[in-house]
Chain A
Amino acid sequence: MSDPVGHLAIHYGGQGCRLLDNRPRHPQAVLSGRTVEEAAALLPRLFAVCGVAHTNAFARAVEAARQQTASPEVEDARHRAEQLEVVANHAWRFAITWATALGMAPRLDGLKQARDGQAADDPHMAAAGLRRLLEEEDGPVERMRDQARRLTGTPGLPTCRQPLGWPGAPWWAEAMRRADFIDRPTTLDGRVPAVLPRDADPGPKTGPLGIATALVAAARQSLVRLCGPRSRVVESYPFDLNAGIGLAETARGPLAYRVHLDGDRVVAAWAVTPTDWLAVPEGALGRAIAALPPGAGQEERLRLLVGLYDPCVPVQLIRTPAEGAAVDPSLAATREAETRAMETGADA
């Protein structure tokens, strides 16, 4: 069994930094040919961390394909489960990911409270756990914002668009409708910029401080959405005859599914996740990494950037030798494969 999660590889050192996306292509391919109910039952197994969001987005896409809408009661129940998952995953980021990237001890009390609240279907308990993390004096949230401010001052560090929180649902639906999945059903090489319109505008351009601020703001908004009345956002969009687009929220941003049906069977399904936006070299994380100057502190700043952007996939840092020095054989092989791919148009 090969690695089903894959990883992002960041090469750094004397020749600058760059990001390689070594994740598996199109895990939703296993949904093809399945009945709707088989596919819906399979999704939580595939995506155990954000299973609610994946299942909800899929269900909404199926309903759109069938020209149907869920009842308000059903959508209320979905929204509640989705927001509980969002709050628990925001808590995970602050308590584990950010704390670790900053060299701090994990914040277990707030995280456990948030996760216990999710398990007990208790919004107030979950919200109390996340609030505890957000409001901790000199905790990971505060310190990461300080570090992000410092990183933003790096000369030449670009800003980049990165969808966070909940950008306009119609924008997402249109982007997924225009995405070129059909012609390349199993090769999403190039990832998001290739499959979504290049002129798309998912949000304001931002650097590390903007990302940190947006993630904290998104966490605070999720508290409001979890404990307050549900805002009536349209999350299902018919695409074509027997095809639909469904949206759901995750702690890292919006998740979108496009599903094509033949009767009760899934002909094809594709998803664009927040990690897809982060994993591309042209994305916010990739561009920030590429702009980091070599030299002292490079690795520490890389670890901070990776922790801050939190791409939800293992990241491997690979130090490369300075120009003129011997080249790591694995990197040389990767570069050779990349060169071949560029020449042939195949996946790297």
Chain B
Amino acid sequence: MLDFLQYVIDGLAIGGLYALIAVGYSMVYGVLQMINFAHGELYMLGAYFVMVLLGAGAPVWFALPAGAVGVGLFAVLMERVAYRPLRGAGRLAPLITAVGLSLFLQYSVQLVFSPNPLSYPFQLSGEIIEFGEDFLVRERDLLIFGVTVVLTLLLEGFVRFTRPGAGIRALAMHPMAARVVGVPINRTVALTFFIGALMACVAGALQGMAVNQIWPYMGVTSGLKAFAAAVLGGIGVLPGALLGGLVLGVSESLLVGYDLSTYKDGAAFLILIAVLLLRPQGLLGRARLVKV
């Protein structure tokens, strides 16, 4: 039982990273009903951007936000160039373009840096804090989990209480009506991509600082699992992304803990399919009405 709780605690940090990436999938799907498969690459780019800034001698408090804004602007550019021309061209065309983009970004990073893993210039402390006699938590896991929760809450506040946030909600609810009442569609979509990229960048940088390794393909598996997390929690719902991420993180940590680590990649998707069949809108999602 104690082991079990310990594994759950360990899983929360991994889950936090998934959740930060999942937010981007979820928001973009919410406003455009599009699965942005290049989103995992924004997480990877984030790790590299922040690494470059840190390597140039910038302090963490500057490198992290600056890198995030950089990746955010990149995502806006990506939407403008590759996705906007395909809005209204069905579901598959933008999806294939997204895949092309993600291959393009992987190869580019491989070319500019190296195909091999690079070590990170800044590391989070791995000191272990003891809670009582039985529970051990690494400082960095606590930090990652804290950052995830704070950022998700901030974002939820932004979407709920600000004017641009209301625009995002309106667009997600009813694109046509949103246009009629004067929501600037293109600016709102760009903002959505920007925010998703910010979060993905933070996740990438935290991953680099925690594990001390980043590589050009790091966005592939993490991106897919974060996507599963977004769907699991209810795609288009922000707290859902957080919940989905944590569920996946904890389940992975449990599998590793009980010596089944070779099954952990499949398990994430087994949970996903089970949830989809029982509750297609995800754990926290609301079912959409389908009109004839």
Q: Decide whether A and B assemble into one complex.
A: no
Q: Which residues of B contact A (CB under 8 A)?
A: none
A contact set with B: CB distance below 8 Å: none
